Amino acid sequence: MKTRTTMTSNVRKTVSVSVLCKAAAPVLLALILLALSACATTPQQSESVVDRAQLRWDSIFALDFDTAYSLYSPGYRSTTSRVDFEIGVRMQRVNWTSAEYLEHECSENRCTVTFNVGYTVSKPVPGLDSYEGSSVVPGTWIKSGGEWWFVPPKKD
């Protein structure tokens, strides 16, 4: 009789462990998926900053100053009006013509996004109507309030 009770007790333990494992499997799977989704957050953030950087250049080419200005950091916009921004872009002798994404390097709240930017300069020197060229241009972006913002280089 004693043997039978022990056997029944072992069977109950085995059944209980099996039922527990089946019940825990979905929870364990959910935890693994949650951990993997946290790993995937950084590339999405990086893609977002690259998209915003491309949008900034595209807006400048299209002379869409409202969109371009809206991508600048809140600090820049607090010291430079939308009208002054447009005047500054229009007054440059350089006409930006293209922007080809090259690379980006990011930390948690700061990215440098680099483009090969095409440009035209009208009447750069006497006797030359225009000059076309390109230059590698890095741009600094900061993350603030959950959004990426362009920070222009300081003027001398």
Q: Tell me: the pLDDT tens digits for 76-113? A: 999 999 999 999 999 998 999 999 999 999 999 999 99
pLDDT for 7-28, tens place per residue? 455 555 544 545 444 554 444 3
Nearest to 150 by CA among 81, 44, 79, 55: 55
Burial of 125 (0-12, 13-18, 19+ CB in 10 A): exposed
What is the average pLDDT across 138-146? 95
Looking at the fold, whether 69 and 139 belong to one and the same domain comes out as yes
User: Angle at which helices 2-39 and 41-61 pack, to 10 degrees?
Assistant: 20
What mean pLDDT comes out for the span 146-151? 96
Please indicate, yes or no, whether residues 33 and 54 belong to a single structural domain of this protein.
Answer: no
Pick the closest to residue 47 from 141, 152, 145 (CA basis). Answer: 141
**Same structural domain for residues 17 and 62?**
no
pTM: 0.68
Q: Are residues 118 and 144 in the same domain?
A: yes
Model pLDDT, residue 26: 47
pLDDT score of 123 more than 50: yes
46 and 85, same domain (yes or no): yes
In a domain, 67, yes or no: yes
Q: Which residues pair with 141 in a beta bridge?
A: 111, 150
